[in-house]
Amino acid sequence: MIERGLELALRKARGAEITLHDERVSSAEYEDDKLKRVSASQSCELEVRVIVNDRIGTSRATDAGEVESAVSRAIELAEFGSEARFDFPGPAAGPAVKTHDPRVEQTSREELVASGGEMLERLKAYNPEIKVSAETAWSLSRGRLVNSSGLDVSADYSTYVGYVSGMLVRGTDMLFAGRLHYWRSKTLDAAALANAAVQEFRRAERTAEVSTREMPVIFTPRGMQVILLPLLMGINGKNVLKGDSPLDNRLGERIAAAGFTLADDGTVDFAPQSAPYDGEGVPRRRNAVIRDGVLEGFLYDLETASKAGRKSTGNGPGCGASNTIVSPGAVSFEEMVKSTKEGVVVEQVLGLGQSNAMNGDFSVNIALGYKVENGEIVGRVKDAMVAGNVYDALPRVEAVGSQQEWYHTMCSPAVKIASLSIVAGQ
Amino acid sequence: MRQRMEDALRNTGADYAEIRIERAEATEIGFRGREIDRISSSGSLGGTARAVVKGGWGIATFNDISDLAERVREAAACARLVGQERTELAEVEEIEEIVPAPPMQRDFRGVPLAEKRRVTQQYNELMLDLHSAIQTTQTSYRDVYREVYFANSEGSYYQETRPDVVVALTAVARAGNLVQRAHESTGRAAGFEVALGLEAKAQAAAARAASLLEAPQAQGGAYTVVLNQKLGGVFAHEAFGHLSESDFVYENEKMRELMVLGKQFGSEALSIVDDGSLRGGRGSHPFDDEGVRTRKSYLIEDGVLVGRLHSRETAAKMGENVTGNARAVAWRFPPIVRMTNTYIEPGSGAFEDLIREVKVGLYALDMIGGQTMMEMFTFSAAYGYMIRDGQVAELVRDVVLTGNVFETLKRIDMVAGDLAWADGGGGCGKGGQSPLPVGIGSPHVRIQGVTVGGRQ
C-alpha cells in the first residue's frame, strides 16, 4: 500500500516520504489509593511529505488505507508550502541501537495492575495518610519509513513506564512527591521507584524557612529541567537559523563553566528517544553540543540544515533534541550539600516554560525543594520561587555531580549554581 | 454510524458502556519570520469505548472502527480487572439529539488554501514590518471540523458538529542578547470569519514585543496586584477552578474536608461561576462527553464555596447534582472532569477605583501560561505596569505571580464591574489532555500581598 502511495506521489513530486506507525498501549492507573482504570489502545498514524517544485507539503491520516488521498492532499498543499532545497536521504546504515524489548508487550494487564499496586503499598506502608496515585504502562510501536531515494527502514519501539506519586494534606498544606521511570526495556523496579518516592517524603517531613535573597542552588537530576529546557530551545537549529536563539553567534565560545559537558544522543540503548533513524530517515547519532563549557554545535533537520548550509544531525523533523545527556563530574550530591552553607535544593518545579524561555529566563515555583543550612538538608522549602537566566547561570556552575539519573528524555547529574535569586512567599 | 454503535453496546456484560467516535479534518498553516514554516492537512477517525463493571472503569481507544463490538468487549475485560465495588453513576435524562454546527458565516472547508495562506501571511507581514526591532514572528492559522458521535448502553445518543478556528500571532523582538515576545490570539467555534479583521491584534503584539525590550524586569517581592480581565480569568481557572473539579476530591477525605461546601473561601467580593451552556462561549456545548446537559454552576458565591464540577460518577459518589463537566479533548481520551466557561462575576466600579489608593503596586496583564499544584499556583503575566501613587506607571516584563490559593483568594479585596471574556485561542491541559477549549472571563480584580518572582 505504501509503495503504491509513493508511486502515485512521484507522478507529480520530485521527492516523497511516507511514514507509518502502528501502536498498541496497555496501562493500569491508580488514583487516590484505588485502582481506577485499565486501558487498551490501538492507533495508527500515516504521514506523507512530498516535494513539488522545491516546496514541501505534509498530510496525515489515521488509516493506512487512506494513503492515496493523503498523497493527493499533500501534493495540493505543497504549492503553498515552505521551500525545500533538499532531497530525502538514501539508504545509510543507522547505529545498532536497541529500541525494543519483547518482554514489554508480553506483560499482562494483571501484571501492570500488580506492580502499580506494589508501589502504592510501599508508600502507604511509610505513611498511610498519603493519598497515592500510580501508573504502569507499556507501548509497542511498529514504524516504517519509505522514501523516493530508496530508503525503506522499519523498527519496533517499546516503552515501559512506571509512575508513583503521593499527596499529603495537613490543614491547608499539601505536599506532592513522586517518581517516574520511563525506558524502552522492561527494567522497572517498582520497589526501588516507590522507595525513592518515600525518600522524598522523608526529606520533606519538616519545613524550613527561606528568605528572599541570592544563594547557591543545587538542581537535582530532575530539577535540571529548569536549566535544560530553555537551553534545548537555544540549541535548536531552527531557532538559531531564525535568529531567535541567544546562542546564534556564539559557536566556539565559552557559554558554561569548564566541566559542563552536554550532548544530544539518540544512540543510547533503550533510552526514550533512541532510534536507528530520526523521523526523516537520517541516522541518529551522538552530537556534542557543549564540551567543557564551550559551545560546539546545534541540532538540525534536513530542511533547516539545507538553509543554514549545514548537515542534518539526525534531529528531524523539527531540530528537537533526542536524549539530552549531561556528563557526570566528580562531586557527589552529598558533598555538594555538605559544601553549602546556606542554599536550596530544587527537585520539582511549577511553571516551567512560562517565562521567556527562548531568552533563557526562568522564574518557577519550587513545588518540591529543600533548604540547606551548614551543609545539611534541614527541611522542605515552601512558597518560594527560583528565578534567573540559563545563560547567566551556566558560567556560574560551581559543581557537577558524579551520579547521572534519567528523567524523561534527559540524563543529568545534580548541578550546583553558585548563586540564584530565591524569592520567598508570605 | 448510530446503528453500529448501538449494536455494539448490546449485551456487553458491563454495568454501563458507551462509545464516542470522532471524525476530524484539520488544516494548519504556520509562518516563522518571512517564510512559511509548515502547511499541513490531517484527517482522523477514531474513538473510545468505556465500560464499567462493579465500579471499575475499562477503556479501549482505537482508530480501527471496523469491529466496535470487539472494542466494547475489550473495555469490559479491562473493567473486570478493576471493579470490586458497586457501580454508581448519577441518573440523567435519556437524550436523543443531533446538534447542528454553530453558525458559520463562511464555512472554512470551502475557503481555498491560497486564501487561508494569504490572510495568515498578511498578519505576519504586518508584525514584521511594524518595528525594526521585530526579529521574527510565529503566525499560525488552524481550522478543525469535528463530528462527534456518542451512544451509551442506557439508550442515549447524540451527534455534535464542532468547528473551531484559531489564529495565533507571536512577535519576537530582539536587542543584542535580549529577546522579548508578545502574543495575541483568537479562537472560536465558527467559520472563516474568525480569522478576518485581526490587524489590530497583530499590530498590538509587534508594538508590545518591541517596547518590552526597553522595559525593566519586575522586581521580586510582595505587591498589591491588579489583574486585568484576561489574567483575572486565568487566575479563576488555574488557581481555583481546578480545585473544584471533583475527581480530585471525591475519594480523598482530606480534600473533602478542605473543600467542604459552605466554607468561607474568599472575600465577600468574590463569586466564581462555570457555565457550559453559555451562548457562544469557547467552552460551550449543549452536552458534555457523557451526554449530560451542560448548565450554570456557582462554585463560589459571595466568598462561600457552594458547588463543584462533576462527572456522573463523582456526582453519584458525592451525592450531589450532575453539572455536565465530563469532557474529552479528542477521540483518544476518556472524558474527565473539566471546566467549560469559568468566570469571576462582576462587582462594581471601574479599574481606576482599584488603583486609586495603591502607592506601589503592579498591574498585571494577559497571560503566557498558568499552572497549579493544588494549593500552589504560578501564573505568568504577558506584561505588566507598575502602579505608583494611584496611577499606571512604567511597563515591566517577566511578571510571574505565585502563591497559596487559599490565602490568595481571601486577599481579593476589590472586584470591578467590567467583566470581559478572553479572546484567546489557547486551551486547558489536564491529565495529558490538551488543549481543551475553555472560556475564561473576569472583571479587573485587586489582590493584596501577591508574591512576584523575579531577580532582586
- Per-position DSSP letters for A165-211, written without gaps between them: EEEEEETTEEEEEEEEEEESSS---HHHHHHHHHHHHHHTSSEE---
Q: Which residue of A has its CA nearest to B255?
A: A169
User: Residue B104, SS3?
Assistant: coil
The answer to whether A379 and A240 have CB atoms below 8 angstroms apart is no
Burial class (CB in 10 A: 0-12, 13-18, 19+), B197: exposed
User: CA torsion, points A403, A406, A412, A414, in degrees to nearest 10?
Assistant: -60
d(CA A367, CA A344): 12
A390 contacts on B by Cβ (under 8 Å): none
Arithmetic mean of pLDDT, A356-381: 92
Q: Which of B77, B66, B79, B61 is nearest to B19 (CA)?
A: B61
Q: Among positive and negative, which fits the CA dihedral B343, B345, B351, B353? A: negative
Cis-peptide, bond into residue B334, ω within 30° of zero? no
Choose the mutation target among A132, A248, A350, A420 for the interface with B, i.e. most B CBs under 10 Å. Answer: A350
pLDDT tier for residue A191 given thresholds of 50, 70 and 90:
very high
Name which of A113, A242, A388 is nearest B32 (Cβ-Cβ).
Answer: A242
Closest CA to B343 of B227, B429, B232, B244: B232
DSSP assignment, residue A348?
A: E
Q: Distances from the Cα of A71 to the Cαs of A11, A18, A280, B10, B150, in angstroms?
A: 11, 9, 17, 39, 31
- Cell numbers 454546527: residue: B101
What secondary structure letter does DSSP report for A292? T
Please say if the pLDDT value at position B426 is more than 80. Answer: no
Nearest to B44 among A62, A76, A353 (CB): A62
pLDDT tens-digit readout, B311-344: 999 999 999 999 999 999 999 999 999 999 999 9
Q: List, in order of start, the domains of chain A with CATH numbers.
A: 2-203 (3.30.2290.10), 206-426 (no CATH)
Q: Which residues of A126-159 are buried (b: 16+ CB within 10 A; e: fewer)?
A: beeebbbbbbbbbbbbebebbbbeebebebebbb
- What is the average pLDDT across B239-244? 90
CB contact under 8 A, A356 and B397: yes
CB B284 within 8 A of CB B330: no
- Choose, out of B179, B223, B252, the residue to mutate when testing the contact with A (most A CBs < 10 Å): B179
CA distance B236 to A321: 35
Which residues on chain B are in Cβ contact (under 8 Å) with A176?
373-374
Cβ atoms of A167 and B249 closer than 8 Å: no
Determine the 3-state secondary structure of B233 from DSSP.
helix
| Three cell numbers, residue B80 | 473486570
Under 8 Å between Cβ of A174 and A368: no
From the list A28, A83, A167, the residue facing B35 with the nearest CB is A83
Find chain B residues with C-beta within 8 A of A244's C-beta.
Answer: 135-136, 172, 174, 179
Q: Is A28 on the interface with B (CB under 8 A)?
A: yes
What pLDDT does residue B456 have?
A: 43
Examine the pLDDT at B298 and tell me if it is beyond 90: yes
Measured between beta carbons, the chain A residues lying within 8 angstroms of B334 are: 37, 39
Please tell me the predicted confidence (pLDDT) of residue A22. Answer: 97
pLDDT of residue B178: 85
Instruction: State the average pLDDT over residues A395-416.
Output: 97
pLDDT-based confidence at residue B454 (cuts at 50, 70, 90): low
pLDDT, one tens digit per residue, over B46-91 is 999 999 999 999 999 999 999 999 999 999 999 999 999 999 999 9
Contact status, residue A159 vs residue A135, Cβ threshold 8 Å: no
Task: Return the SS3 of A219.
Answer: strand
Q: What distance in Å separates residue A132's CA from the closest CA in chain B?
A: 10
pLDDT band at A426 (very low <50, low <70, confident <90, very high): low
State what percent of residues in chain B have pLDDT above 70: 99
- pLDDT of B455 reads 52
Chain A with chain B: Cβ pairs closer than 8 A: 257
**Predicted pLDDT of residue B297:** 97
Q: How many Å apart are CA A259 and CA B284, to the nearest integer?
A: 54
Q: Hey, what's the torsion of the CAs at B118, B124, B129, B130, to 10 degrees?
A: 120
The predicted pLDDT at position B402 comes to 86
Q: What are phi and psi of A279, to 5 degrees?
A: -70, -5
Determine whether B223 is exposed, middle or buried from the number of CB atoms within 10 Å of its CB (0-12, 13-18, 19+): buried
Average pLDDT of chain B, as a whole number: 93
> Chain A partners of B371 at a C-beta cutoff of 8 Å?
350-351, 354
- State how far residue A96 is from chain B, nearest Cα, in angstroms: 32
Q: Per-residue pLDDT averaged across B28-52, rounded?
A: 95
Chain A contact set for B379 (CB, 8 A): 351, 354
The pLDDT of residue A165 is above 60: yes
Q: What ipTM was reported for this prediction? A: 0.91
Residue pLDDT, tens place only, B247-272: 988 888 888 888 999 999 898 999 99
Judging contacts by C-beta atoms under 8 Å, the chain A residues touching residue B407 are 172, 426
CA distance A330 to chain B (A): 30
Question: Which of A85, A212, A354, A391 would you mutate first to test chain B, the one with the most B CBs within 10 A?
Answer: A354
**Domain locations along chain B:** 2-214, 221-453
d(CA B279, nearest CA chain A) in Å: 31
- Rg of the Cα trace of chain A? 23
Calculate the CA dihedral of residues A113, A115, A117, A121 and round it to 10 degrees.
180
pTM equals: 0.91
CA distance B391 to B52: 58
Cα separation values, B48 from B44, B59, B70, B72, B322, Å? 13, 7, 12, 9, 22
> Chain B partners of A388 at a C-beta cutoff of 8 Å?
455
Q: Is A292 on the interface with B (CB under 8 A)?
A: no
Percent of chain B with pLDDT over 90: 80
Do residue A421 and residue B456 have CB atoms under 8 angstroms apart? Answer: yes
CB contact under 8 Å between B404 and A425, yes or no, is yes
**In CATH terms, is domain B2-214 a member of 2.60.120.10?**
no
A272 vs B: CB within 8 A: no
User: Is the CB of A59 inside 8 Å of chain B's CB atoms?
Assistant: yes
Q: Quick check: A308 contacting B, CB < 8 Å?
A: no
Q: Which residues of B touch A178 (CB under 8 A)?
A: none
- Alpha-carbon gap, residue A270 to A411, rounded angstroms: 13
Query: What pLDDT is recorded for position A353?
Result: 74
- Grid cell 564551550 is found at A294
Q: Which residues in chain B have Cβ-Cβ distances shorter than 8 Å to A387?
A: 220, 400, 453-455
Q: Which residue of A has its CA nearest to B403?
A: A383
- A243 touching B, CB under 8 A? yes
